[in-house]
Structure 1
Amino acid sequence: MTTMTRFGALALSAIMLPCLPVFAEPVTGEVAAKLVFPVTEMSAVEMTGKGGLSETDAKTLQLVGAGQPFYGAIAISPDEGIMVEATVAAVNHHSTEAAEAAALKGCEDKRKGKAACAVVALIRPEGWEARTLSLSADATRALGADYKAPGAMAVSPATGMFGMAKGDQAGDTAIKACEEKAKTGDCVLVIQD
């Protein structure tokens, strides 16, 4: 949902790639609450070993990534180092796969070096394990604070955007709310009561 360049400037990288996860049938709010991970101050960062980072640069990116909302990824241009515009962190997505795609696209759009960009870090919730539903940190917070049955939540797998609604027509309204933010045509219903 959010893309950081030079670890500070935020921009949205809205892309639709076939590698993004496919969401199953919607679950109830009660089931969703059990599937998502709690939002904490620090995220877990897994370094991928790609990009030929020095130990110092790897530690720097790990520290920066730990303070970002899940799900995320950091991509770099290996020829340029990490303190350049092509270093991109895409965060607050609904999966690391979507964040990887956004980070790589943002990096490639800004890369000046010859070598292709590489994802060097993945940002996930503490204690992460694969589950049938994953939501961005912002969507997870909204689920816990604002979701009421009857209701629905729709997400954009490509952008990390989401929409929620209450009432009998919540499903259609949540998809419309998601699409107004995402503008990608990919919003799907993931929670419905």
Structure 2
Amino acid sequence: MMWFGAPALAGLCCLTLAGAAAAESLTGKAAAKLMYPAEGSAVEMQSQEGLSAQDTAALTLVGTGQPYYGAIAISPAEGLMVEATVASVNYHDTDAAQAAALKGCEAKRKGAVACQVVALIRPEGWEARDLQLSADATAALKAHYAAPGALAISASTGLFGLAKGDAAGDAAVKACEDKAKAGDCTVVIAD
């Protein structure tokens, strides 16, 4: 059986998905110990230049309802409630989410000032760990992973593939690539 990462989006004008990979694979048991709960996001404001207290409160409210890891980018010259405000969520780390949010914002920006990331979305109580997975990949790991099995992730899209059985590593990469089409799917969990 194979599982794929799927969009889980709501909130601001535009949302995208993405992620990052770990260097070596871990066992399912070791990976499970590193995971945060699949639900429960916290927002860390990065820049409040040009944002009112009301804007900051709105971004925090919307961001806490999004799956981690994510980022929100705005076009400072245009304000918050415009098409160029982009939240990219459900990545495997905030670096990939920031890149996607900035790319989406720049594509829609009409103002003269470059887009900037104003908020990061991480799991509640976040601290750096050896393996980070998107909220959807975390939920799939907890609900569906069993040895022999493997989970592969796409660093650039946040999508993933989960497979069971003897050739789980290859099947997980294939499942991930079938959805991501990014050429960067790698196995991060394998038994």
Q: TM-score, normalised by structure 2?
A: 0.91
Instruction: Tell me the number of residue pairs that the alignment of Structure 1 and Structure 2 aligns.
Output: 186
Identical columns (%): 64
How far residue 52 of structure 1 moved from its aligned partner, in angstroms, is 2.2
| 8 A Cα contact 2:21 2:153, kept in partner | no
CA contact (8 A) 1:3 1:89 kept: no
Q: 2:123 aligns with which of 112, 122, 125?
A: 125
Question: TM-score under structure 1 normalisation?
Answer: 0.90
1:75 match: 73
Aligned partners of 1:141 and 1:181: how far apart in 2?
18
1:17 aligns with none
Q: Would the aligned equivalents of 1:6 and 1:84 in 2 still touch at CA under 8 Å? A: no
CA deviations on 1:55-112 (whole Å, 9 max, x unpaired) are 1101110100000000000000000001000000000000011100000000000000
Distance 1:9-1:119 versus aligned 2 partners, 3 A rule: closer
1:128 aligned counterpart, secondary structure = coil
Q: How does 1:22-101 map to 2 (within 5 A)?
A: 23-40=22-39, 42-101=40-99
Structure 1 runs, 4 residues or longer, greater than 3 Å off: 1-6
Structure 2 residue matching 1:100: 3-state secondary structure: helix
Per-residue CA deviations over 1:22-75 (Å, capped at 9, x if unaligned) read: 5221000000000111122x3110000254211110111010000000000000
- How far apart, in 2, do the equivalents of 1:69 and 1:168 lie? 32
The amino acid across from 1:102 in the alignment is A
Higher relative contact order (CA 8 A, sep 6+): 2
CA distance in 2, matches of 1:60, 1:150: 44
Partners of 2:9 and 2:115 in 1: CA distance:
15
Match of 1:113 among 111, 114, 121: 111
Distance in 2 between residues matched to 1:115 and 1:29, nearest whole Å: 45
Aligned-partner Cα distance in 2 for 1:30–1:52:
45
